[in-house]
A and B are shown apart, each in its own frame.
Chain A
């Protein structure tokens, strides 16, 4: 009798706990408590024939399982209002540099699943010539996220016939698209990017033998940021020489780069592989015209040694 009273008290407490967890949205925890209640009822001679109680508890568990399944299904981000999209764009663009901030804002929209709006933003930035490589790749990513590989492929074809992107950039984008399509299990034959006929054959060879690099990660060995790790986007590549644009406002970073400095163990990210190699800062020039006037172009030469590690 004493045991039964204790069980009754415990059941009451467990039900109270389970209900509280349910109201707090802790559905797994709630279900666990209800299962324990069910077990106690079944083990207790006084309650085991109480079909009504068993049925009520079972109903609670079914309800919780339904809610849990619904949460699991919630994978797609809802389309937000224009105001909320603007808020996201503004809250998640951090750079002082206007162009970089615009790219960050558009990337934030894509990361929060607002692909349609992100597409509009990236297309606008591409037309303005703001970080064309980054904008173009994000356009393709957004098309793919919207489950339209055909739209991504058509977009690439459109760029091929236009003059928004250089051939070098198109080649980079082509290998990127090829990679992401393959990752998605989409088989597609992408049109080739025609080679520039006026280039020296020597240059062509060296360019062809190098992967198209999208970004690099390096540890700074000089200046006020010495020791910190930076990731930088590659804006142009010619063979084993890559170029990056550094904003004039990023003074600390600018001070870190001096021509001739050797950078050890730089990570180079391409669309198909990541590799590590040493590199040398070969040139550092100020942009005199165009939208990035005043900023700096940093050229880095990748050392073509045998110590190139594919990660």
Chain B
């Protein structure tokens, strides 16, 4: 089974975010980046399916030069090849524009399955997988917690809300958005990291892919949201703050 897995590099979880006034994206200097956590689950699922059914895993990522690191992580964990869509202004694209670029790159591959994470931890659009399915003309399913593949079909466990699940079936080729927690992602081994250095990463640009985008939406600005609730911050040593809290909960909030 040949699998394309889409991976994105995002600011590290604990990165302090600086937003230039009126900007639509953060200042990228002096912060760390990491593989988008939900994509890590999609990558792991792709590797497991390949190990079970044979075939290859191709990791596709779009973004500036730094995002190659996400591809390298995938290669170190066991993906065969990488495709980097080089785009310094990726953050100006809307979800449909990003998906058009990814779809154009994926169309060049021979694949049975496309996997994405559920959403990115930066933009959090949560649309890429579903849009890829439409643009590639393929069936899809989202929020997947289990994949059973047999005879060119998939049986999938979808998560619904409030503790409900559903089984669905669909034919290959298909696109799936993977729910976080479906598996336990592996760590890259030293041997894997060394082997990755010899693996191919093809670089493509939007122009080479022949994609023209016309934005359907535009982020005017991003900002730290205004507090809707007045939070009383209790200060002092751990013991002092704890004592103040107990006092507040007893006599002010009256919940103890």
Q: Are A and B genuine complex partners?
A: no
